[in-house]
Chains A and B, each alone.
Chain A
Amino acid sequence: MTTAVIADDEVNLARHLQAQLAHVWPDLDIAGVAHNGVEALSLISRTAPDIAFLDIRMPGLTGLEVARSVPAGTRVVFVTAYDQYAIDAFAAAATDYLLKPVSEERLRSCIDRFREHPLPGTDQLSALLDRLTVQKPVERLQWLRVGHGDTTRLVSVDEVLYFQSDSKYTTVVTADREQVVRLSIKDLEDQLDPEHFWRVHRGTIVNVRAIDEARRDLRGRYVLKIRGRRDELRTSEAYAHLFRHM
């Protein structure tokens, strides 16, 4: 008997797909239903089903991440409401997928395909998943925790105009505030996206998108005007090369 599992964080949708499957393929044995990525992974490894219906957006692990660890004998069918990027990739790689709301007609043709070729094309799938999941950018610092009395505020790095540090503290300058963070300029440099944040001085990292104007002084260093600010930042000679091609 053919077995299947369903993984969808939305209870209604999981139940509905189960009902639709019962209707379209009464003999199919639903070995279990999972409601998040972590549950899905343990359910699949426990039951080793023939088919796994995986929702893409789930808490814990995404459907794509779960699919990477699926055993060789399990055929994966992705279910999604709208992930254009992934859908285009599935279509190109002839991977099975269903769109929500799932129509019975579409479900039937998916099942027919499975019956004709019950074995999953694992190589192709893993190559596709490599492409879809590895492309995740390196985790960059996105939020700064800024102590403010006894509360901790969060400041998005996109808002930051520049960071200025002396030996002990680093000041975060945004359009409306200057606040102190307990991160050294070196830590920040390592964690920030180097595309947008440039170290222009021993104690200064500037958000490139906040630079209004860069002009050279007589010694070949640059003086930076920052959007909405009166003060100017100086680059040191060591970092002046960053602006040569601007």
Chain B
Amino acid sequence: MSKGLRSSRWSEIAGSYLWTSLFCAAIAVLLTFVGMTETFRETLVISFCIGLSINTAFVLLSDMLRAWESWYLGPIIITALGLAFGLTIAGITVLGQPWFFFSSNYSSLTAGIFFGVVGFLMFSTREQLLQARTQLAEAEAARAAQERRNLETELRLLQAQIEPHFLFNTLGNISSLIRSNPDGAEATLQNLSRLLRASLKRTRGETATLGEELEIVTAYLDIQKVRMGDRLETAVIVPDYLKSLPLPPLLLQPLVENAVVHGIDAKIEGGRIGVEAGIEGEQVIIRVVDTGGGFGSGTQGSGVGLRNVRERLSGLYGNKAALDLIENPGGGITAELRLPAVAS
């Protein structure tokens, strides 16, 4: 790749000399034609000295340009340097006096400045065009990369939706309850159906509301309560008027699953999981609070689900949404989701 870059750099440089030569020849022809100079040959030499010198200054110093904040200051300085050097060379070549065009005859200096400005304007326009094109290409690449990341996240999410261990464990629980507690078995079966139905719906890419997501989360928590017995306590406290808010699927559920698996289930005595939502300013805040063991040990791998959520957030909302994990003073973790309240 660097080889390709280098050869394109060389052809760019060669091209710039070619254009400069044509430009200088045109100036010499023009000046001779309007009768401003003595001989065409001399004018051509002076014009080439100045033009090639300015071009060389740009080739050698243009890397420095990118470090400059202002877009015009650098090129002006380089043009001036090139012009001064070119006039000196022209003085030596044509008259054998380096300072001739700075002391005795100002016509070449004037013409040099004039065409220097013209050349500079042409150059900077071209440079800005190039820069705009590069920026466009970069933005395009960034967008494509973001799209690819979104797709990958979606895929990972689909794969992660129903964890096999959870599925078979739930089936084991249902089977164990069928005789001893038929009502409990039926309720668990219905909760499992709700979860499976919800994941099918998501596979079809439909949007959801906070209320619908909370139903899924409740189904999930109820199944976990059957599984964990009195080791798990739950409380979902969300005012009704928030339930119609649109909420992309699979932002809330992974946080709740995380709280169960890495928070409460890892702790022998169990604990409590709370889901709360509210509005602060123009943001919806959704919190999943657990009293579990926190991120001490045995939480390797819990980062994956959270990373999915975060990548989805940035894909959906850019920097207008955030997920924070806060350590509770009394132990456990609060996962805090902030989203813009108005769907964009």
Binds A, one of B16-24, B46-54, B129-137, B265-273: B265-273
- The answer to whether the Cβ of B169 comes within 8 Å of any Cβ in the partner chain is yes
Interface flags for A149-171 (1: CB within 8 Å of B; 0: not) read 00111111111000000000000
Residues on the B chain within 8 Å of A139, using CB? 297, 300
Q: How far is the CB of A231 from chain B (nearest CB, A)?
A: 14
- The answer to whether the Cβ of A28 comes within 8 Å of any Cβ in the partner chain is no
Q: How far is the CA of A100 from the CA of B297 in the complex (A)?
A: 27
Q: In the bound complex, do residue B303 and residue A154 qualify as a contact, i.e. CB atoms below 8 Å apart?
A: no
Residues on the B chain within 8 Å of A13, using CB? 172-173, 176
- The answer to whether the Cβ of A82 comes within 8 Å of any Cβ in the partner chain is yes
- The answer to whether the Cβ of A43 comes within 8 Å of any Cβ in the partner chain is no
Q: How far is the CA of A15 from the CA of B169 in the complex (A)?
A: 14
- The answer to whether the Cβ of A71 comes within 8 Å of any Cβ in the partner chain is no
Contact of B325 among A102, A137, A153 (CB under 8 A): A153
Q: In the bound complex, do residue A81 and residue B165 qualify as a contact, i.e. CB atoms below 8 Å apart?
A: yes
- The answer to whether the Cβ of A220 comes within 8 Å of any Cβ in the partner chain is no
Residues of B271-324 contacting chain A, CB below 8 A: 295, 297, 299-300, 302-303, 306-307, 310, 314, 319, 322, 324
B interface, over-half SS:
helix
Contact of A59 among B165, B229, B268 (CB under 8 A): B268
Q: In the bound complex, do residue A38 and residue B180 qualify as a contact, i.e. CB atoms below 8 Å apart?
A: no
Residues on the A chain within 8 Å of B324, using CB? 153
Q: How far is the CA of A152 from the CA of B303 in the complex (A)?
A: 17
Known: A82-B167, A158-B303. A12 touches B310 (CB 8 A): no
Q: How far is the CB of A12 from chain B (nearest CB, A)?
A: 5
Residues of A118-158 contacting chain B, CB below 8 A: 137, 139-140, 142-143, 145, 151-158
Residues on the A chain within 8 Å of B228, using CB? 9-10
Q: In the bound complex, do residue B307 and residue A158 qualify as a contact, i.e. CB atoms below 8 Å apart?
A: yes
- The answer to whether the Cβ of B168 comes within 8 Å of any Cβ in the partner chain is yes
Q: How far is the CA of A221 from the CA of B244 in the complex (A)?
A: 56
Q: In the bound complex, do residue A59 and residue B266 qualify as a contact, i.e. CB atoms below 8 Å apart?
A: yes
- The answer to whether the Cβ of B177 comes within 8 Å of any Cβ in the partner chain is yes
Known: A145-B327, A154-B327, A158-B303. A12 touches B226 (CB 8 A): yes
Contact of A143 among B179, B180, B295, B307 (CB under 8 A): B295
Q: In the bound complex, do residue B168 and residue A10 qualify as a contact, i.e. CB atoms below 8 Å apart?
A: no
- The answer to whether the Cβ of B326 comes within 8 Å of any Cβ in the partner chain is yes
Q: In the bound complex, do residue A101 and residue B319 qualify as a contact, i.e. CB atoms below 8 Å apart?
A: no
- The answer to whether the Cβ of A60 comes within 8 Å of any Cβ in the partner chain is yes
Residues on the A chain within 8 Å of B180, using CB? 12, 15-16, 19
Q: In the bound complex, do residue A175 and residue B176 qualify as a contact, i.e. CB atoms below 8 Å apart?
A: no
The total of chain A residues at the interface (CB under 8 A) is 38
- The answer to whether the Cβ of A211 comes within 8 Å of any Cβ in the partner chain is no
- The answer to whether the Cβ of A11 comes within 8 Å of any Cβ in the partner chain is yes
Q: How far is the CA of A36 from the CA of B231 in the complex (A)?
A: 12
Known: A59-B266, A82-B165. A153 touches B327 (CB 8 A): yes
Q: In the bound complex, do residue A154 and residue B172 qualify as a contact, i.e. CB atoms below 8 Å apart?
A: no
Interface flags for A47-66 (1: CB within 8 Å of B; 0: not) read 00000000001011000000
- The answer to whether the Cβ of A99 comes within 8 Å of any Cβ in the partner chain is yes
Q: How far is the CA of A157 from the CA of B174 in the complex (A)?
A: 39
The chain B residue with its CB closest to the CB of A11 is: B229
Q: How far is the CA of A38 from the CA of B165 in the complex (A)?
A: 22
The chain B residue with its CB closest to the CB of A215 is: B2
- The answer to whether the Cβ of B333 comes within 8 Å of any Cβ in the partner chain is yes
Q: In the bound complex, do residue B295 and residue A142 qualify as a contact, i.e. CB atoms below 8 Å apart?
A: yes
Residues on the B chain within 8 Å of A187, using CB? none
Q: B residues engaging A (CB < 8 A)?
A: 164-169, 171-177, 179-180, 226-229, 231, 265-268, 295, 297, 299-300, 302-303, 306-307, 310, 314, 319, 322, 324-327, 333
- Write 29 A-B pairs (CB below 8 A) sorted by A numbering: A9-B265, A10-B173, A10-B227, A10-B229, A12-B173, A12-B176, A12-B180, A12-B229, A15-B180, A16-B175, A19-B180, A81-B167, A81-B169, A81-B171, A82-B165, A82-B167, A82-B168, A84-B164, A100-B169, A137-B300, A139-B300, A143-B299, A151-B327, A152-B326, A153-B324, A154-B325, A154-B333, A156-B303, A157-B303
Q: A residues engaging B (CB < 8 A)?
A: 9-13, 15-16, 19, 36, 38, 57, 59-60, 81-84, 99-102, 137, 139-140, 142-143, 145, 151-159, 175-176
For the complex with contacts A11-B229, A81-B165, A158-B307, 4 further pairs of A-B residues with Cβ separation under 8 Å are A10-B172, A10-B227, A59-B266, A100-B172
